[in-house]
Structure 1
């Protein structure tokens, strides 16, 4: 049977994070920030999930409302601190609501549950590949066969940066998407957190700040 397809309606940084996490569920993804493009992607016969950033606006809510519940599972990603509403998302017809920021395992498990309700059960793999590393939903990463323990916040940050490897993630997105990150925390605190992740990852990865944001890159041995 072909893999189920999740259509992700969100901007690039968040969409890439969702894509990386859903690899744990063996789910294909197609992402777009455009409601008309998302509507077209849902015509794919393998499309089974629609995951929407509620910040996209009323047109996204209307798209959720019009979907056939017997064919599609829908999940709204809601940022309460930016004015999002879980109640409004459920009223629009979302089957599930996940608040931003989320931990990677929470998204993976909820997506698998939605697929199960549609009669398309899938298993959640705890590990997933990223360059030289094996990410893990259980707060550690393996680099060249060496296991490195991470806090839940550092693991979340690794997924955010790893999903966008080689591209800068703005400080605003780091704060918005990293679980356990204080949005009102000062730049020095954020810098120490990023530096700690870099220290734990070691020489096979480089974590650096640029004018555009934080960049994670792999280093060839």
Structure 2
């Protein structure tokens, strides 16, 4: 069962009616470690917000049904204070003023680069205080300082290589989920993952296990036959 002391990944909602743009945004934000939920319209978003509390919303202005700024104004009137970044192809001063008046916190004009997107998201999360909660991740005896890239086990510092740190971070973001070796290659090794075989992944995990749990008292890593590994 999932340990309740784990800090949850920051959740971001994206409302964008162009599916290719939505998928692109979801991809780049997921790569940064955020949990992303996408919608092609405002339909079902309020129902989602009744069950989840995202840290940020990215809202396209030109949406089918209810226009983006109207929807955000409606959310503000309903008591939701979730930070919002508007996405739009319109960059007139009047459009910007309208968006901010509706309750927007920032504005991005299309087309925008993935780097600009992630920087603006991070900046707004910092301003809202959501990012400070994510500077450390705790689970069982492990505490990861994401800013200093440091790990302590039972309060004692354990030295990890950059790869081992990223590997553990990936597992700690997906507690109790079976992760394939292909997924780990993409997340941890990135573009260099094409040259990493299954045995190299296994060796890296065993090396990490021996550092964080040498006596196997916590039994963090569980091989999943035909899939990869589960961390709990």
Given candidates 189, 198, 201, the residue that maps to 1:190 is 201
Q: CA deviation at 1:132?
A: 2.7
Residue deviations 1:104-154, cap 9 Å, x none? Answer: xxxxx87542346xx646773643322332111123222222221112221
2:212 corresponds to = 201
Q: Is the 8 A contact 1:165 1:216 kept in 2?
A: yes
1:96 corresponds to = 116
Given candidates 137, 140, 144, the residue that maps to 1:135 is 144
2:12 corresponds to = 7
Q: CA deviation at 1:168?
A: 0.7
Q: CA deviation at 1:164?
A: 0.8
Q: Is 1:175 aligned to 2:195, yes or no?
A: no
Change (3 A) 1:193 1:112: same
Q: CA deviation at 1:165?
A: 0.8
How do residues 141-156 of structure 1 correspond to structure 2 at under 5 angstroms? 141-156=151-166
| Over 6 Å off, 4+ runs | 66-69
Given candidates 24, 34, 45, the residue that maps to 1:18 is 34
Q: Is the 8 A contact 2:12 2:34 kept in 1?
A: no
Other structure's SS at 1:147 match = strand
Change (3 A) 1:198 1:171: same
Gaps of 5+ in 1: 20-30, 51-62, 76-88, 99-108
Question: Could you state the TM-score of these two structures normalised by the residue count of structure 1?
Answer: 0.55
Question: 2: CA distance between counterparts of 1:66 and 1:214?
Answer: 43
Q: Is the 8 A contact 2:221 2:229 kept in 1?
A: yes
Alpha-carbon RMSD across the aligned residues, in angstroms, is 4.0
Other structure's SS at 2:88 match = helix
Question: 1: CA distance between counterparts of 2:113 and 2:43?
Answer: 17
2:132 corresponds to = 124
Question: 2: CA distance between counterparts of 1:197 and 1:123?
Answer: 27
1:53 corresponds to = none
Question: 1: CA distance between counterparts of 2:107 and 2:183?
Answer: 23
Gaps of 5+ in 2: 1-9, 15-25, 50-56, 58-71, 91-95
Q: Is 1:65 aligned to 2:88, yes or no?
A: yes
Q: CA deviation at 1:177?
A: 1.7
Q: Is the 8 A contact 1:134 1:143 kept in 2?
A: yes
Q: Is the 8 A contact 1:206 1:216 kept in 2?
A: yes
Q: Is 1:46 aligned to 2:81, yes or no?
A: yes
